């Protein structure tokens, strides 16, 4: 119940930023239109690029906008606060809490993601469905599997961002590394272009990297590009990366907190 309370508190915290949420919805919707018309032009020249038809490609666009904040596709997502606490020395307070550091921040991130999925995800997707022909499933089971895949993607996203944040224990300023991590996520998650549309071995490699678990796999589940054994492999792929990265995070956390020197000595 301890971590459930942390997640619920994080959900309520982000729910208080109503103007920021409305601004985020507006921004995601505008960029959704810009990218959607770009995809329409691209798919007019290559009608089955990446194995997607036009409706599936447009659904990819609006799913990316719906998950932009929830899955922290541009990094941040609240863990920039962890970086700040490490730099200021306030992390010492966190380490004194009777709770695991990684699980505490994971619970907080899940609460944040839950609100962002509702607050900033539903409206852009609804607007996209209103103005464009999207390949949205009619089967409720597919939607449930999509939400499960989104949750696994959020865990993978958290694990990556947590590793980057822990680097602040050794770096004077982790902003540069965070920027690089955000660019890598934006490119290799499929946000710029679906990974299936990448050429040759680059596309094969990109679909094996952990960033593919954040956006590419959930979207493929939603549009029906994964079903049966392929669907199970996709979920297993996400779960495997989540477990591996969380385990690596625990090793890095142990090394970082073995001896902590904060301001004041």
Question: pLDDT digits over 146-175, tens only?
Answer: 999 999 999 999 999 999 999 988 887 777
In a domain, 264, yes or no: no
* Confidence grade of residue 265 (pLDDT, cut at 50, 70, 90): very low
* pLDDT tens figures, 208-232: 999 999 999 999 999 989 988 999 9
Choose the weakest-confidence range: 122-126, 149-153, 164-168, 236-240: 164-168
Between CA 251 and CA 241 the distance in angstroms is 15
Distances in whole angstroms, Cα of residue 205 to Cα of each of 143, 189, 192, 200: 28, 12, 16, 9
Choose the weakest-confidence range: 104-108, 146-150, 172-176, 237-241: 172-176
What does the CA dihedral 67, 150, 208, 206 come to, rounded to 10 degrees? -10
Residue 67: its H or E element: helix 54-67
* pLDDT tens figures, 174-185: 778 888 888 999
Q: Is the pLDDT of residue 77 over 80?
A: no
Residue 95 confidence (pLDDT): 86
Q: Give me the domain span that covers residue 193.
A: 2-256
Q: Is the pLDDT of residue 123 over 90?
A: yes
Q: How many CB atoms lie within 10 A of CB 211?
A: 25
The pTM for the full model equals 0.93
Name residues whose C-beta falls within 8 Å of residue 149's C-beta, 6 or more positions apart in sequence: 217, 218, 221, 234, 235, 238
In a domain, 211, yes or no: yes
Q: Which two tokens stand for residue 241?
A: 């990366």
User: Roughly how many angstroms between the first and final C-alpha of the chain, as a whole number?
Assistant: 35
Report how many domains make up the chain. Answer: 1
Q: Is the pLDDT of residue 262 over 70?
A: no
In a domain, 107, yes or no: yes
Burial label, 131 (beta-carbon count in 10 A; 0-12, 13-18, 19+): middle
């Amino acid at each position: 119940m301890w971590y459930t309370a942390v997640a619920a508190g994080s959900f309520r915290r982000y729910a208080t930023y109503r103007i920021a949420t409305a601004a985020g919805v507006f921004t995601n919707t505008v960029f959704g239109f810009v990218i959607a018309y770009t995809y329409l032009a691209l798919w007019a020249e290559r009608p089955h690029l990446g194995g997607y038809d036009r409706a599936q490609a447009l659904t990819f666009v609006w799913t990316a906008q719906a998950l932009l904040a929830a899955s922290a596709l541009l990094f941040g997502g609240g863990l920039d606060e962890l970086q700040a606490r490490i730099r200021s020395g306030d992390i010492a307070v966190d380490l004194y809490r009777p709770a695991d550091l990684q699980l505490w921040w994971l619970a907080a991130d899940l609460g944040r993601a839950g609100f962002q999925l509702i607050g900033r995800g539903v409206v852009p997707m609804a607007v996209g469905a209103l103005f464009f022909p999207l390949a949205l499933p009619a089967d409720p089971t597919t939607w449930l599997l999509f939400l499960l895949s989104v949750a696994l993607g959020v865990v993978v996203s958290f694990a990556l961002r947590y590793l980057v944040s822990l680097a602040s224990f050794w770096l004077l300023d982790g902003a540069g590394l965070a920027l690089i991590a955000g660019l890598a996520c934006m490119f290799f998650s499929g946000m710029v272009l679906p990974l299936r549309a990448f050429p040759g071995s680059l596309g094969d490699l990109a679909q094996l990297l952990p960033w593919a678990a954040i956006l590419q796999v959930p979207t493929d589940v939603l549009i029906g590009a994964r079903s049966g054994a392929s669907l199970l492999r996709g979920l297993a792929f996400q779960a495997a990366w989540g477990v591996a990265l969380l385990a690596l995070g625990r090793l890095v956390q142990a090394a970082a907190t073995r001896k902590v020197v904060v301001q004041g000595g």
